[in-house]
Structure 1
Amino acid sequence: MKLLLLSLILVAAVLTIRFLNKAVISLGQSKSVSSYRTKYINKTLTLVLIVFYAVLGFTVLGIEYSQVTIFLSSIFAVLGVALFAQWSILSNITASLIIFFGFPYRVGDRIKIIDKDDDISGTVEEIALFHVLIRRGEDLITYPNSLILQKAVVKLSNKPTEPVPVEVKESPTQSDSAN
């Protein structure tokens, strides 16, 4: 019976991961997200699903929930201590997931990040796992994902801001009356 349940969990895990990967790729293509970024989102979500199904498998094997939680809490405690100094990295990864699914600006959009010290404006060149690359003239600005979610971001027009020259022509009646 346990072998049958483990087989069902394994099949469910494989099917869920495949479905999720296809859904993320489809969403990424519809939002014009780079394949590089879509790949990292898929890896992150796949890891979460593997942990979920592993816990489910341990439960089916008869390993008590308290034993699994003690084991997982021990691992998370070690990881927490090891990564405490790198907390901003974890927040940037989480922000990366939020940006992938809900950020209204895409690569190629001109944006302006409102900040009390410096207004950063330019063209979004890349949205990576930890940061957004913004091109301002010759400069390439690296802006952390966690900060871009905390600031107001304004989408600027993609049209050039230079004034359009207006050509003034003489009306035919003026030139006729001058002759």
Structure 2
Amino acid sequence: MKWLSLAICVVAYLFCTRAVSASIRRLGRSKEVAEVRIKYLEKTSRILLFVAFVIVLCLTLGFGYGQVSLFLSSAFAVIGVALFAQWSILSNITASMVIFFGFPYRVGDEIKVTDADFDLSGTVEEISLFHVLIRTAEGNLITYPNNLILQKPVIKLDRGNTDFPQKVAPRHPE
């Protein structure tokens, strides 16, 4: 009976992995997202599915819920302490998922990140798991963290225009 349960868990894991990857690929292509970003999100989702698979596998093999939860809480405590100083890593990974699904700008768009201290305008070259690469008009490459780009207003510029967009007079019906 355990072997049948294990086989069902493995088949379900493989099915879920393929279904989630296919869904991410389909959504990414419909939103015209770069292939590299799609692969980042697929990899992250596979890791999360694998962790869930290991938990289900442990429970299926007969480990008690208390034993599994004790192991997981210990593992997460160690990981939490290890990553406490690097909290920005986790926030950047989370922000990359938000950017994947909701960021209105794509690679090749000219944008301006409104920052009072720096001129952050240029063309989006790449959006990766941790940062967005912006190429300035002078040819410099700005590496901007994903979690910060979600916190600042971003303006999509017209081609060749590096200033803020001009206000457009409202249209009145005649």
Structure 2: 5+ residue stretches without partners? 163-174
* Structure-2 residue corresponding to 1:24: 24
Between the aligned residues of both structures, percent identity stands at: 57
Q: Deviations over 1:104-152 (max 9, x none)?
A: 1110111111123234211111001110001111111110001011111
Q: Which amino acid in 1 is paired with 2:104? A: P
TM-score by length of 1: 0.84
State the distance in 1 between where 2:40 and 2:73 align: 25
C-alpha distance in structure 2 between counterparts of 1:160 and 1:114, whole Å? 17
TM-score, normalisation: structure 2: 0.86
SS at match of 1:111: strand
Larger Rg: 1
- Name 2:97's counterpart in structure 1: 97
Q: Across the two proteins, how many residue pairs are aligned to each other?
A: 161
Task: State the one-letter code of the partner of 1:95.
Answer: A
Q: Which residue of 2 aligns with 1:63?
A: 63
Mapping of residues 1-179 of structure 1, within 5 Å: 1-137=1-137, 138-157=139-158, 159-161=159-161
Unmatched segments (≥5 aa) in structure 1: 163-179
CA distance in 1, matches of 2:153, 2:105: 12
